[in-house]
Amino acid sequence: MRTVLRGFAALLTVSILSGAACKPAAPRTFNPEGLAGPKIDPPIPKPDFILTDTDGKPFNFRKETEGKVALLFFGYTHCPDICPVHLANIAAVLKKLSPEVNNAVRMVFVTTDPRRDSPEVIRAYLDKFDARFIGLHGDSLALRGAMRQLPVGTPIIEPGANDSTYTIGHSAMVLAFTRDNLAHVVYPFGIRQQDWARDLPLLTEQ
Amino acid sequence: MRRRRVHPRSCLVAGILLACGSPPPPAAAGALGELRFSEGFAYEPIIQASGAAYLRIENRGALPDTLLEASSPAARGAMFHGGAMAHLMVLPIPAGGELRLEPGGTHIMFEEFNAMPQAGDSLAVTLRFARAGSVTLELPIRKYGTP
Q: What is the pLDDT of residues B66-124, one digit of tens each?
A: 999 999 999 999 999 986 667 888 999 999 999 999 999 999 999 999 999 999 999 99
Closest to A137 measured CA to CA, from A148, A129, A146: A146
Strand partners, B35: B32, B59
Q: What per-residue confidence (pLDDT) applies to A164?
A: 66
Closest to A80 measured CA to CA, from B101, B122, B111: B111
Secondary structure (DSSP) of A42-87: EEEEPP--EEEETTS-EEEHHHHTTTSEEEEEEE-TT--SHHHHHH
Q: What per-residue confidence (pLDDT) applies to A109?
A: 98
ipTM for this model? 0.79
Q: Report residue A28's pLDDT band, with 50, 70 and 90 as the boundaries.
A: low
Cross-chain Cβ contact A161/B50 below 8 Å: no
Cross-chain Cβ contact A81/B109 below 8 Å: yes
Residues A172-198: b if buried by 16+ CB within 10 A, e if exposed: bbbbbbbbbbbbbbbbebebebebbbb
Strand partners, B19: B28
Q: At what angle do helices A82-96 and A193-205 cross, to 10 degrees?
A: 60
Please tell me which residue, A28 or A25, carries the higher pLDDT value: A28
Q: Using CB atoms, pick whichever of B50, B143, B145 lies closest to residue A80.
A: B50
**% of chain A at pLDDT higher than 90:** 69
Please tell me which residue, A163 or B115, carries the higher pLDDT value: B115
Mean of per-residue pLDDT scores for chain A? 85
Contacts of A84 in chain B (CB under 8 A): 43, 46, 144
Residue type, B144: Y
Q: Nearest CA to CA, how far is B61 from chain A (Å)?
A: 30
Q: What per-residue confidence (pLDDT) applies to A33?
A: 80
Please tell me which residue, A106 or A40, carries the higher pLDDT value: A106
Contacts of B45 in chain A (CB under 8 A): 80
Q: What per-residue confidence (pLDDT) applies to A94?
A: 98
Cross-chain Cβ contact A82/B104 below 8 Å: yes
Q: What per-residue confidence (pLDDT) applies to A166?
A: 73
Count of CB atoms situated within 10 Å of the CB of A138? 19
Whether the CB of A166 is below 8 Å from some CB of chain B: the reply is no
Q: Using CB atoms, pick whichever of A170, A190, A193 lies closest to residue B147.
A: A193
Q: Using CB atoms, pick whichever of B77, B83, B109 lies closest to residue A80.
A: B109
Q: What per-residue confidence (pLDDT) applies to A22?
A: 44
Cross-chain Cβ contact B145/A193 below 8 Å: yes
Q: How is chain A split among helix, strand and coil, in percent rounded to 5?
A: 35, 25, 40
When pLDDT is averaged across residues A60-73 and rounded to a whole number, the result is 97
**pLDDT tens column, B10-57:** 444 433 444 444 466 789 999 999 999 999 999 999 999 999 999 999
Q: Report residue A178's pLDDT band, with 50, 70 and 90 as the boundaries.
A: very high
Q: What per-residue confidence (pLDDT) applies to A157?
A: 72
Phi (first) and psi of residue A148, to 5 degrees: -75, -10
Q: In the predicted model, is pLDDT for residue A98 greater than 50?
A: yes
Please tell me which residue, B83 or A92, carries the higher pLDDT value: A92
Contacts of B144 in chain A (CB under 8 A): 84-85, 87-88
